[in-house]
Amino acid sequence: MLAKLYLQFLKFGSFTFGGGWSIVAQMKELYVDTEHSMTDEELLDITSIGRSLPGTMIGNIAMFYGHRIAGFWGGVACMFGMITVPMIILLLITSFYTAFQNNLWVASAMRGVRAAVAPVILSALMGMVKSAFKLPPCIAVGIAMFALYYFLRVSPIMLVVIGAVLGLIICEYYERRPAKDAAA
Amino acid sequence: MLLLELFWSFVKIGFTSFGGLSMIPLISSEMISHGWMNAHEVSDIVAIAEMTPGPLGLNCATFAGMRAAGIFGAFIANMGALAPTFTLCAVAAVFFDHFRDNKRLGQVMTGVRPACVGMVAGVVIDLAAANYIDAGGGVNVPSAVLGVVDLVLLLRFKVSIPKVLLLSAVVGIILFGVMGL
């Protein structure tokens, strides 16, 4: 059972490029559409909770799925299955990168790639903006955290904690406000 | 000692990251402050992670871990980055039904998401400064122009990220290798 889970996730893990959504798509294909061992809703629940817990989204999804089938060790089997292939590929690339970092052609290619990194992150950031700024005060949180990070170099850990606390305050405020209005 | 530092760095990165890009600010500050990578190498790993399978955080862990302490270092760093999965997520799996309807989790994310957007915006400026400005302080024109072209391709023409990175590598070879700019 554990071996089967490991191998299934080994396959999922080999075909993910940039982001975890391709894993979710592959899980849907196998478990929802082919095996019918899971419904769309169950997969959606696992995905949305896996995404909002800290850590790597697909690691969390693998843990949830494996746990459902075979307990904690099932989760561990899925997680290791998923990271095996990407880790081997990246170990090879890292060795290559370290060995050829100063080669003219590799260095030139990397200079080109570096020029693309800020635009790549910026374009992905645009995709995050919509879901991040649901309530007006969230915009102020974003600007304040930017200033604290960029100008005052406050640690990202501190900023995530501050963000979490502000999130609780903002949501509680919005939930209580209509009640007050009604009373007045 | 090095292994322990590496593990602890990635535990911190794991616990304060919420998907994809949100790890970059902490990865960048941890890697640079420990001297495991410089700003150029942080850019390189973001690009490499985008072009290879696997999530960004784990790819960074493998890259940084291997450069700092070999293959075993890579493994240790991965385990650190996965620490929230082993602990928090394993607990959440047991109480899955409670977690599914938990209102607090959504409230926390309401504040964490904009905080991540703010920090990632800061990292974009840091990486842009490292990659478009030469050691002497002047703007590197070929790199800056390539960056603007890439941004237009991504936002206006919706070209996929791996394609843009590959194209930039080819342009880099031509501009900096063949033409010697």
SS3 for B126-171 is HHHHHHHECCCCCECHHHHHHHHHHHHHHHCCCCCHHHHHHHHHHH
Would you state the pLDDT for residue B20? 64
Say whether residue A131 is in contact with chain B using an 8 A CB cutoff.
Answer: yes
Q: In the 8-state DSSP scheme, what is residue A155?
A: -
Taking each continuous run of H as one helix and of E as one strand, the counts in chain B are: 10, 0
Check pLDDT > 50 for residue A94. yes
Q: Quote the CA–CA distance of B47 and A110 in Å, as a whole number.
A: 9
Would you state the pLDDT for residue B134? 85
Tell me the mean pLDDT in the region A127-133.
Answer: 81
Q: pLDDT tier at A183 (50, 70, 90 boundaries)?
A: very low
Contact residues, chain B, for A157 at CB < 8 Å? 12, 16, 26
Contact residues, chain A, for B147 at CB < 8 Å? 115-116, 118-119
- Other Cβ atoms less than 10 A from the Cβ of A100: the count is 14
Chain-wide mean pLDDT for chain A? 86
Would you state the pLDDT for residue A16? 67
Q: Which residue of B89, B91, B152 is the best one to mutate when testing the A interface, meaning the one whose CB has the most A CBs within 10 A?
A: B89
Secondary structure (3-state) at A112: helix
What digits encode the pLDDT tens for the residues B56-79? 888 889 998 998 889 999 999 999
Contact residues, chain A, for B63 at CB < 8 Å? 90, 94, 97
Contact residues, chain B, for A111 at CB < 8 Å? 143, 172, 175-176
Tell me the mean pLDDT in the region B128-149.
Answer: 90
Q: How far is A123 from chain B (nearest CA, A)?
A: 6
Answer yes or no: do A64 and B82 touch at CB < 8 A.
Answer: no
Contact residues, chain B, for A143 at CB < 8 Å? 118
Using CA atoms of B67, B68, B71, B74 in order, give the dihedral in degrees to the nearest 10: -100
Chain-wide mean pLDDT for chain B? 87
What digits encode the pLDDT tens for the residues A51-74? 778 888 888 999 999 999 999 999
Check pLDDT > 70 for residue A5. yes
A104 to chain B: nearest residue by CA? Answer: B177
Secondary structure (3-state) at A102: coil
Rounded to the nearest 5 percent, the helix, strand and coil shares of chain B are: 80, 0, 15
Tell me the mean pLDDT in the region B138-142.
Answer: 90
Tell me the mean pLDDT in the region A141-164.
Answer: 91
pTM of the full predicted structure? 0.81
Check pLDDT > 70 for residue B19. no
Task: Give the least confident one: A15-29, B44-58, B81-95.
Answer: A15-29
Please list, in sequence order, all residues whose beta carbon lies within 8 angstroms of the beta carbon of residue A173, skipping any fewer than 6 positions away.
none
Give whole-number Cα distances, A56 to A22, A136, A137, in Å: 14, 28, 27
Check pLDDT > 70 for residue B141. yes
- ∠A155-B38-A56 over CA atoms, to 5°? 55
Q: Quote the CA–CA distance of A36 and A57 in Å, as a whole number.
A: 23
Say whether residue A113 is in contact with chain B using an 8 A CB cutoff.
Answer: yes
Nearest to A163 among B46, B111, B146 (CB): B111
Secondary structure (3-state) at A115: helix
**Segments making up each domain of chain A, as ranges:** 2-100, 133-183
Would you state the pLDDT for residue A178? 67
Q: Quote the CA–CA distance of B81 and B75 in Å, as a whole number.
A: 10
Contact residues, chain B, for A86 at CB < 8 Å? 52-55, 58-59, 62
Instruction: Report ipTM for this prediction.
Output: 0.82
CA–chain centroid gap for B38, Å, is 13
What digits encode the pLDDT tens for the residues A104-118? 998 899 889 889 989
What digits encode the pLDDT tens for the residues A16-30? 665 567 788 888 889
Tell me the mean pLDDT in the region A154-162.
Answer: 88
Check pLDDT > 50 for residue A133. yes
Which residues of chain B from 73 to 92 reach within 8 Å of chain A, CB to CB?
74, 78, 81-86, 88-90, 92
CA–chain centroid gap for A184, Å, is 44
Q: Assess contact for A83 and B78: CB atoms under 8 A.
A: yes
Burial class for A79, CB neighbours closer than 10 Å (0-12, 13-18, 19+)? buried
B128-138 CB burial, b ≥16 within 10 A, e <16: bebbbeeeeee
Say whether residue A60 is in contact with chain B using an 8 A CB cutoff.
Answer: yes
Q: Quote the CA–CA distance of A116 and A135 in Å, as a whole number.
A: 32
Using CA atoms of B21, B80, A147, A120 in order, give the dihedral in degrees to the nearest 10: -20
Would you state the pLDDT for residue B102? 74
Would you state the pLDDT for residue A184? 43
Does A124 or B7 have the greater pLDDT score?
B7
